[in-house]
Amino acid sequence: MKHLISIEDLTKQEILKILDKAEEFEDVALGIRKCRILEGKILANLFFEPSTRTRISFETAMKRLGGEVVNISAQEASSIAKGETLADTIKVVSNYCDAIVIRHFLEGAARFAAENSAVPVINAGDGAGQHPTQTLLDLYTIRKECRKLEKLSIALVGDLKYSRTIHSLIKALTLFNSKIYLISPEILSLPEDFLEELNGNFQKARLEEVIEEIDVLYVTRIQKERFLDEEEYRKVAGSYRITPQVVEKLKSDAIILHPLPRVDEIDIKVDKMRQARYFKQAFYGVPVRMAILSEVMQ
């Protein structure tokens, strides 16, 4: 059974295969071509944390491929509110469907769900842990918009401590010989164990020092919900703000990505500038998730 819990569950070849497959699904995602390969299959969306893009793009992807979706989200409206354990919920739900997408506030929850499931489990974000499907769509966006994936200069900006999108992406980038710049307030630095894995292929930097050189500017939201102390959050809130003045220093063919939602990290005036690709990135979530769903369910 093929679960997708961490980006490390995939080899470089498997990652590239999913990106190629996503390419073939783009016209289906746009509604131009019909494809019903998941007809008769049911996906369960199990969301214990808020989500717009991830949940809706999985749902759209499944429906465009002819499948059906059941959503279990409001904790208060399900037996979770009655004290049911995650293990029991998964055992029951996995007997109703062909795959489960889970988002949970606890790191490790998706792995635990997989151990209790009769069907493939896809991690749609586990606390500050991993978010592998976001990484696949990030890689897809980079490959499409930069026309290559290897040897790019990539700046990761914002909350490197708690962003699961960063934790997954950084592991994948090491497969593609990227030069990685880590840009964050000191208290939101990338955790030590990641630094060891990066084997020196990274550099802590200030945005001003590298802005003219980078190919990809990947901006993240400061993950307010992961802070134990509101006062600590206030110290770093609004640390980075990508304004048109900042963007003007970027190379003209550089791209700006953000997993969204943004709070105030990117000025809305940047949306119209040629480097802005974050809304396109959000669209690419659909063909990429189609590729993932067809991989695990066919």
**Site residues for ligand NCD per CB under 6 A:** 53-54, 125, 131, 134, 164-165, 221, 259-260
Minimum CB separation from ligand NCD for residue 26, in Å?
Answer: 19
d(CA 185, CA 121): 34
- Closer CB to ligand NCD, 41 or 160, in the complex: 160
In this structure, which amino acid lies at residue 231? E
Minimum CB separation from ligand NCD for residue 295, in Å?
Answer: 19
- Closer CB to ligand NCD, 2 or 53, in the complex: 53
Minimum CB separation from ligand NCD for residue 61, in Å?
Answer: 14
Minimum CB separation from ligand NCD for residue 227, in Å?
Answer: 13
Minimum CB separation from ligand NCD for residue 285, in Å?
Answer: 8
- Closer CB to ligand NCD, 144 or 258, in the complex: 258
Cα distances from 237 to residues 128, 219, 242, 271, in angstroms, run 18, 14, 14, 21
Give the residue among 108, 241, 242, 219 at the shortest CA–CA distance from 159: 219
Minimum CB separation from ligand NCD for residue 162, in Å?
Answer: 9
d(CA 49, CA 236): 23
- Closer CB to ligand NCD, 54 or 117, in the complex: 54
Minimum CB separation from ligand NCD for residue 261, in Å?
Answer: 6
Residue in the block written with tokens 């498997």:
14
- Closer CB to ligand NCD, 41 or 270, in the complex: 270
CA max distance for the chain: 55
- Closer CB to ligand NCD, 141 or 165, in the complex: 165
d(CA 162, CA 166): 8
Minimum CB separation from ligand NCD for residue 212, in Å?
Answer: 27
- Closer CB to ligand NCD, 244 or 261, in the complex: 261
- Closer CB to ligand NCD, 91 or 105, in the complex: 105
